[in-house]
Amino acid sequence: MTVLNYAIHENLATHHVVLEKLKDFVQAQGWTVHDWLTSVQWAWTGSQYDFIAGSESFLRIQSNGYGSQTLHYRFRGKQTGSDPNHEEINCGSQNAANTALDHTSNLHPVDRNKWNLFTSHSFKPTNIPKFWLFGNSKFVLLVAKMDNIWCETICFGSPELIDTSDDESMYLSYEAAGSLRWYNYNAQDCLYFEDRVFYFDGRVETNAYFHQSGIAAPYGFAYKNVTLLNEYSQARPVYKPIVYVKPDVDGLWRVWGWLPLYRVWAEGLQFGEILQYGTKQFMCFPSNKLNDASRYYGIAVRIA
């Protein structure tokens, strides 16, 4: 069972500090930090597009997954000032064959050369109460508490593969477009997969499909009904979501791997509450909203 390293921070001044703490954490896990820029914006300099003085932040990181893959991600801390309760952290996963910044394009680097994996996450601009980071050199989960009932979740990296020589695994958690605000409490599950298989020689199978057990997936079948509270023992079984893939090359379903996270019945649990089973410890969170009767299938992270 996967044990992830973790760090906890409280009372973060801004969402830009969230990215700074993410930078420090992934670096400690063995990721390479290519860029960490604050008070910048992407704009024309007179000779090319580049970062100049501004009000945003930018993080670019990279690590090795399984097989020959390269995990390359970019994060943008936006600063529009248009909503006193909302700013965005944009995330993008980049094609490993072209990870350099493109100075010929006015598109922000988070939007360039992405492998159809791009997400926008709504954050408080200031005074973020609590923030958790979990991960290793291949996978990272970020949980940020927004208020007493809502947390924002981002996870990225590689699933754990059955065949560790496989080259087709890159993941960025799904989130709705930036038009949604965290305070609207529109739940989005951070364990969704995009409907794509990415090969690390640059090929993309646009008709490949993923299914996962353990989530309310849009694909029709899920195992959320096994996420429960045992009424007799009051135990909450934890289990890993299994990822199935159906590539174009053969059209056959197979078990691809699983996520380093677990599912747990979250009713009555608080943010970051620890469950202990023997010597094993799991830190638990709702998918987004605390005690949401329609979404009691929460997230558990093994920490010991």
Instruction: Check residues 145 and 298 and name the one with the higher pLDDT.
Output: 145
**Which residue ranges make up each domain of the chain?**
5-302
- Count the Cβ atoms, other than its own, within 10 Å of residue 292: 18
Taking residues 70-86, report their average pLDDT: 94
Which residues are within 8 A (CB) of 195 and not within 5 positions of it... i.e. 6 or more apart? 208, 209, 210
Give 225-284 pLDDT, tens digit per residue. 667 788 778 889 898 877 766 655 666 666 777 888 888 999 999 999 999 999 999 999
| Model confidence pLDDT, tens digit, residues 195-221 | 444 443 444 444 444 444 333 333 323
3-state secondary structure of 235: coil
- The end-to-end CA distance of the chain, in Å, is 10
Tokens found for residue 41: 């914006």
pLDDT digits (tens, 9 = 90+) for 17-69: 999 999 999 999 999 999 999 999 999 999 999 999 999 999 999 998 876 67
Nearest to 150 by CA among 178, 121, 114, 186: 186
CB atoms within 10 A of CB 303: 14
Under 8 Å between Cβ of 302 and 282: yes
Residue range 153-162: mean pLDDT, rounded: 85
Residues 6+ apart with CB under 8 A from 243: 159, 193, 210, 211, 212, 255, 256, 257, 258, 259
The pTM of the whole model exceeds 0.95: no
Name the one residue in this structure whose structure tokens are 């990296």: 157
Phi, psi at 35, each rounded to 5°? -145, 135
Which helix (H) or strand (E) segment is 25 a member of? helix 15-28
Q: Which of 70, 250, 68 is nearest to 163 (CA)?
A: 68
Q: How high is the pLDDT of residue 210?
A: 45
The mean pLDDT value of the chain amounts to: 82
115 alpha-carbon distance from chain centroid = 15
Give the C-alpha separation, 249 to 213, whole Å.
Answer: 23
Q: Which of 158, 254, 260, 262 is nearest to 209 (CA)?
A: 254
